């Protein structure tokens, strides 16, 4: 009995030691492969290192199992090896990308002595702003415009004319190559980035909603707002459909807001931007999925809400453009026309042609 016990004990010790060595070899080879890849090595070279570790592991495990006389119990099949090998490659490549992103230095940083966000009393001024992603392909060229406090400014123009790039500079996602952007008399580049972005809200056409309740979605950017402020933002965005839901603001939206229509998701996206009550609001195609009646209600509410704010709207819909206080038409990165809807139509220029084309498109879509 003692001899049998010692044999079993010795066998258990050998098994534990073997398992430890196998894991150590495999993880060491994976670690070396990852380091090799991060230092600029090829995926193929990293794969060879992982394959070496797997080969040693497989050979040792096979020898151990064969010694026990139970080769049929060897579960580390060739398919398992391939799966682990592929997983190791994916991990190495993924880690390489992750560390590359973590090591990136931001191109836009705070000034040496950044200022707080000013108490905006006049508005936003773009003065001779030029920008290009690539030197040979300018996106914006000498753009100048003024958005006064209380105005809703519609930025209009063909795709690629620089509208989204222009408003992105309000968040300092990038700075102009030439010219400057000012809030009152304060250059954006001198304002602390954190404070600037806290005072500029944006709602995009792509509605990003989380699989949580409607209330949690609206509070995402402003967790400390009161229930009254939350419901006021929803009212302005015409998201009154929430009150008709069985659970109201506690309704779980599911992945991507799957329980809502596109128009409902768009109104929640606008409400989430409004609930922050920022001095500057940017809406990128905010009413593209709304019917004409709801769109008019939303825009009317926005104009009332924005009496002490500045609102930029990027849109192609003539019905949205018409209600703006002022329209700025961009073409090939330049401001070609600016004024009210009636003033620009009377010119018979770029804006007139643009509205005619878009109205024709809307009419065709309505007849389908």
107 part of a folded domain: no
| Domain co-membership, 63 together with 176 | no
Instruction: Please state the rounded mean pLDDT for residues 324-338.
Output: 92
Pairwise CA distance, residues 126 & 284, whole Å: 18
User: In terms of domains, do 187 and 317 share one?
Assistant: yes
| 229 in the same domain as 177 | yes
SS3 state of residue 179: strand
178 and 253 co-located in one domain: yes
Among candidate residues 102, 136, 154, the one where a domain is terminated: 102
d(CA 28, CA 131): 48
Above 80 in pLDDT, residue 233? yes
Q: Judge if 130 and 79 occupy the same domain.
A: no
**Residue 113, domain member (yes or no):** no
* pLDDT value, residue 13: 67
User: Is residue 346's pLDDT more than 70?
Assistant: yes
Residue 127: strand, helix, or coil: strand
- Do residues 129 and 98 share a domain? no
Q: How many domains does the chain have?
A: 2
Distance CA 166, CA 201 (A): 15
Q: Are residues 65 and 172 located together in one domain of the fold?
A: no
**Lowest mean pLDDT: which of 182-186, 209-213, 359-363?**
359-363
For residue 279, the domain's CATH number is 3.40.50.300
* Structure token pair of residue 228: 């009254």
- For residues 359 and 300, membership in a common domain is answered with yes
Given this model, what pLDDT does residue 330 score? 93
Q: 198 with 117: CB under 8 angstroms?
A: yes
- pLDDT tens across 137-177, in order? 889 999 999 999 999 999 998 888 889 899 999 999 989 99
Do residues 88 and 132 both lie within one domain? Answer: no
Whether residue 78 is found in the same domain as residue 186 = no
> Does 281 score more than 80 pLDDT?
yes
What is the mean pLDDT of the segment spanning 252-267? Answer: 83
Domain of residue 171 covers 123-367
Q: Is 111 part of any domain?
A: no
């Amino acid at each position: 009995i003692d001899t049998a016990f010692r044999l079993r004990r010795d066998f258990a010790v050998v098994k534990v030691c073997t398992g430890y060595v196998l894991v150590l070899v495999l993880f060491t080879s994976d670690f070396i492969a990852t380091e090799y890849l991060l230092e600029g090595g090829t995926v193929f070279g990293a794969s060879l290192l992982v394959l070496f570790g797997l080969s040693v592991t497989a050979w040792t495990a096979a020898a151990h199992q064969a010694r026990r006389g139970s080769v049929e119990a060897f579960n580390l099949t060739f398919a398992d090896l391939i799966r682990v090998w592929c997983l190791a490659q994916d991990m190495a490549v993924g880690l390489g990308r992750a560390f590359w992103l973590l090591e990136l230095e931001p191109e836009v940083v705070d000034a040496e002595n950044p200022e707080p966000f000013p108490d905006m009393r006049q508005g936003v001024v773009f003065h001779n702003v030029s920008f290009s992603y690539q030197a040979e392909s300018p996106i914006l060229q000498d753009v100048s415009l003024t958005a006064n406090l209380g105005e809703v400014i519609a930025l209009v123009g063909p795709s690629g004319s620089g509208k989204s790039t222009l408003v992105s500079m309000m968040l300092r996602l990038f700075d102009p190559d030439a010219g400057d952007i000012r809030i009152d008399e304060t250059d954006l580049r001198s304002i602390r980035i954190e404070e600037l972005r806290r005072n500029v809200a944006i709602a995009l056409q792509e509605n990003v909603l989380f699989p949580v309740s409607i209330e949690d979605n609206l509070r995402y950017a402003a967790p400390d707002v009161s229930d009254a402020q939350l419901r006021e933002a929803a009212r302005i965005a015409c998201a009154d459909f929430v009150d008709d839901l069985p659970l109201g603001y506690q309704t779980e939206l599911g992945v991507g807001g799957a329980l809502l229509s596109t128009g409902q998701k768009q109104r929640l996206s606008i409400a989430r931007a409004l609930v922050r009550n920022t001095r500057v609001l940017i809406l990128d195609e905010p009413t593209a999925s709304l019917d004409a009646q709801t769109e008019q209600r939303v825009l009317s509410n926005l104009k009332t809400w924005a009496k002490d704010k500045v609102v930029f709207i990027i849109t192609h819909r003539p019905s949205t453009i018409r209600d703006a206080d002022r329209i700025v038409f961009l073409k090939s990165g330049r401001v070609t026309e600016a004024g009210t809807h009636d003033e620009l139509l009377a010119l018979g220029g770029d804006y007139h042609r643009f509205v005619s084309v878009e109205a024709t498109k809307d009419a065709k879509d309505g007849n389908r």
